Amino acid sequence: MNELIALLLPLMLFSISATATPGPNNVMLTLLGSEFGLKSALGFIAGIRMGIVLLFALMSMGVAGLVELFPHSLQVLKCIGAVYLFWLAIKLIKTTSQLDAKLPVNPLGFVHGMAVQFINPKSILMVLSCISAFSLPNHLYWYSVLQACAVFSVVGLLTNIGWTLFGVAVSRLLATPVAKHRFNCFLAACTFITIGLIFV
């Protein structure tokens, strides 16, 4: 069990670095926070966390080995994710504000948050990296995977809430539709940058 304890600090640092940096989830949470507030984003956040747990389950049961065996499958996932991100960026540019776009009260919920993780290249690569780096061999394997999933999930939940609250804080500065549109264009630019980083 000492081996598991020794992994905790580096695992926490990895989780902070992986989940706090900009990516599709955090861009969407910032948008949801700025447009609808924290409460309306909670379903999407819960979906993200459930999607990540399911990715941990799948990857730890051998999907990671299949990805290594068929490396082109990861490239296909990256391309699908890039297309989704491009669509998302265009939607951000076209959306000016909640009132102008006549968006529903809660456009993105639990199911959307969960499903997106399976085409989100960042989420897939984060989980693959986490399992590869922080799983132990033999009888400690499942204990270490559960530990990695738990720590990653708790840290991810906190950073997801943080990005949403950032969006809430920014919304107070966005008093006009023009200001909101500029902010959405900024988020779209971050999304385009993310697309480029996927293939680096």
Q: 128-179: per-residue pLDDT in tens?
A: 888 888 888 888 888 999 999 999 999 999 999 999 999 999 887 776 777 7
User: What is the DSSP annotation of the chain?
Assistant: -HHHHHHHHHHHHHHHHHHHS--HHHHHHHHHHHHH-HHHHHHHHHHHHHHHHHHHHHIIIIIHHHHHHSHHHHHHHHHHHHHHHHHHHHHHHH---HHHHT--SS-S-HHHHHHHTTT-HHHHHHHHHHHHHH--SGGGHHHHHHHHHHHHHHHHHHHHHHHHHHHHHHHTT--SHHHHHHHHHHHHHHHHHHHHHHT-
Count the alpha carbons within 13 Å of 75 in the hemisphere toward its beta carbon. Answer: 5
pTM to 2 decimal places:
0.79
pLDDT, residue 187, reads 78
pLDDT, residue 87, reads 77
Taking alpha carbons only, the member of 193, 152, 190, 147 closest to residue 3 is: 147
Instruction: Tell me the C-alpha distance between 75 and 84, whole Å.
Output: 14
pLDDT, residue 106, reads 53
Instruction: Tell me the C-alpha distance between 49 and 160, whole Å.
Output: 9
Taking alpha carbons only, the member of 46, 19, 21 closest to residue 32 is: 46
pLDDT, residue 91, reads 75
Please answer whether residues 16 and 130 qualify as being in contact, where contact means their C-beta atoms are separated by less than 8 angstroms. Answer: no
Question: Which structure tokens are listed for 94?
Answer: 């076209």
Taking alpha carbons only, the member of 56, 21, 54, 25 closest to residue 41 is: 25
pLDDT in tens, the chain (200 residues): 788 999 999 999 999 988 998 888 998 899 889 888 899 899 999 999 999 999 999 888 875 566 566 667 657 766 776 777 787 778 777 765 443 444 445 567 899 999 989 888 888 888 988 888 888 888 888 899 999 999 999 999 999 999 999 999 988 777 677 777 777 787 778 778 767 765 65
Rounded to a whole number of angstroms, the CA Rg of the chain reads 18
pLDDT, residue 69, reads 66
pLDDT, residue 107, reads 64
